[in-house]
Amino acid sequence: MSIHESVARLVTNSRFLLAGFIFVVGLALGYLINRLTRRLLRALGLPDTVEGTAFERTLQGLGSSTVGVVAELIAFTIYLGAALAALEVARIVDTRAVLPFLSAFIPQVVIAALVVIAGLVIGDKAALVVGERLRGIKLPEVGIVPTLIKYSIFYIAALIALGQLGVATSALLVLLAAYVFGLVFLGGLAFKDLLAAGAAGVYILLNQPYGIGDEVRIGDHQGIVQEVDVFVTRVENDGQEYIIPNQRVFRGGVVRIRG
Amino acid sequence: MSELRDLLGELTDDVDAVLLFAPSRSVYEECEGGDAPVVVVDAENDVGADNYVELPLEFTDIETRIRFALEGAREAGYVEETDEVVCALGAFGGDIDTVVRVRAGQFTQSGIYDLFVNSRAEPAVVRDVLDVAIELGKKGQKGKPVGALFGVGDAGKVMNKSRPLSYNPFEKSHVHVGDPIVNVMLKEFSRLDGAFVISDSGKIVSAYRYLEPSAEGVDIPKGLGARHMAAGAVTRDTNAVAVVLSESDGMVRAFKGGELVLELDPEEY
């Protein structure tokens, strides 16, 4: 028996060697995926997107970053999987009892963790963006809007994560449903006129049945059109400027006066 | 050096207000501790001052800058006509290097602050149009000097006081001054004759307009051409302001209420 034959037999027969091989391949794969994920996330511009959020700042205080954590998390899953597979092959411990449970549970935990991270980042980012937008409005109460958006997103992320882990979330779901219903219903009620004006405004802007400088009569207001935007039409007559919601233009029609 | 110190002390003695132009935070906080109220004049209120006049354009001319700030401060009630005011500004570059003492009533009101803030059009629109005119004046059309006339604000009335010279290239478009592409478009269309009409919110309503307001009683400096006369006349007849780029001397001028309020040299910007 030549040497290489015996080596081949050892490799194919020895469970320990095979297990070791699987484990090493798993480590290498995990490391590769780790690098790949980092590069992919960087290419997608994630570092710029998450910049300034509380989550990213906390991680940077700890010497890491969002990209790093996500990549490590994915790599860690692969390491764990490889270790489990190696143990299974080597039959050192009896993994039959825990394996089905673990193989079902670990992905869920990982996904839940990813959802939590995404929720934290998106919620913070949304609050930042909205806050930036609202900065022009000098009203202290407006500060509540970004906070509300942030915690709404946190709440939804927490719900999804808990659902992944199999925790009973139906009570929280009911709360969410009530919240969304309130938002949609009251929002719809509040924005009804604005939506109608906006829909009419889009038509008016696209087709321009009348333009700036035309003399028109809308309802009982007659004058020269000064401005048309999505929501209102401004008609001026003798120093009086009528600001007419666009849905009124649609409902009542316009008379164009050609002189 | 003590004589110099005395001179500076004389300049800054018994003032009723201090105008700080684009101060850094440390300068502002230093002056804030003094007796006279401090008014910050800047493009943005970075230092969070209570008394603040927004400077829409970096006027390179010191007199124009001070005039604008004084008129703004008087309008807002920070200074009175009889007040002695010290202005600290950077005449050469950004940092404060110059101290000027003026009486607030020393200048006749030129209406330059009025032009931006109390026009029908939004201040940002007036500023954007001036920017476009300055840009156009600097570069010209393919190296050749061009002239242009912009009627800003009160577009409905301006449209009714003018007639089209040709088809309106901005028909059914929704272009606003200040949009990134718009400078190029305006540059292209500036070779056409006639005026641009811009609405209160900055929408470009039309190009190619022949303005026909009555020029009766319009008093503009002699020697300016027909374009300036039309600009002066249209602002007297309507509530618009007009921004003119002169083809012959390359200056940008703004008219309001039939009068010349502002004159800028594009080369300086």
Domains belonging to chain B, first-starting first, are: 2-110 (3.40.1380.20), 119-268 (3.40.1700.10)
**Domain of residue A231, CATH code:** 2.30.30.60
Interface test with B, best of A212, A228, A229 (most B CBs within 10 A): A212
What pLDDT does residue B218 have?
82
**How close does chain A come to B157, measured CA to CA in Å?**
6
Listed residues A95, A117, A138: the one ending a domain:
A95
User: Model ipTM?
Assistant: 0.75
What does pLDDT average to over chain B?
Answer: 85
In a domain, A228, yes or no: yes
In a domain, A251, yes or no: yes
Which chain A residues touch B156 with a CB distance below 8 Å? Answer: 212-214, 224-227, 236
In a domain, A67, yes or no: yes
Q: Which residues contact A33 (CB under 8 A, 6 or more apart)?
A: A71, A74, A75, A78
Does the pLDDT of residue A102 top 80, yes or no? no
Is the entire prediction scored with pTM above 0.90?
no
What pLDDT does residue B243 have?
93
Q: How many domains does chain A have?
A: 2
In a domain, A24, yes or no: yes
In a domain, A89, yes or no: yes
In a domain, A88, yes or no: yes
**Distance between start and end Cα atoms, chain A:** 112
CA distances from A224 to A57, A81, A214, B206, B249 (A): 55, 74, 6, 16, 37
Most confident by average pLDDT, A184-193, B101-110, B173-182: A184-193
Closest partner residue to A224 (CB to CB) among B160, B200, B201 is: B160
Listed residues A46, A68, A95: the one ending a domain:
A95
Q: What's the pLDDT tens digit per position in A208-236?
A: 888 888 999 998 889 999 999 889 999 99
* Residues spanned by the domain of A218: 212-257
Confidence at A181, pLDDT banded by 50, 70, 90:
very high
Listed residues A33, A61, A95: the one ending a domain:
A95
What pLDDT does residue A233 have?
92
What pLDDT does residue A7 have?
66
CB contact under 8 A, B205 and A213: yes
Beta strands in chain A (DSSP E): 215-218, 221-228, 232-237, 240-245, 254-257
Does the pLDDT of residue A43 top 80, yes or no? yes
In a domain, A129, yes or no: no
What pLDDT does residue B143 have?
74
What does pLDDT average to over chain A?
Answer: 85
Say if CB B95 and CB B21 are below 8 A apart: no
State residue B56 phi and psi, 5-degree precision. -75, -30
Element (H, E) at B106: none
In a domain, A130, yes or no: no
- B205 in contact with A at a CB cutoff of 8 Å? yes
- B142 in contact with A at a CB cutoff of 8 Å? no
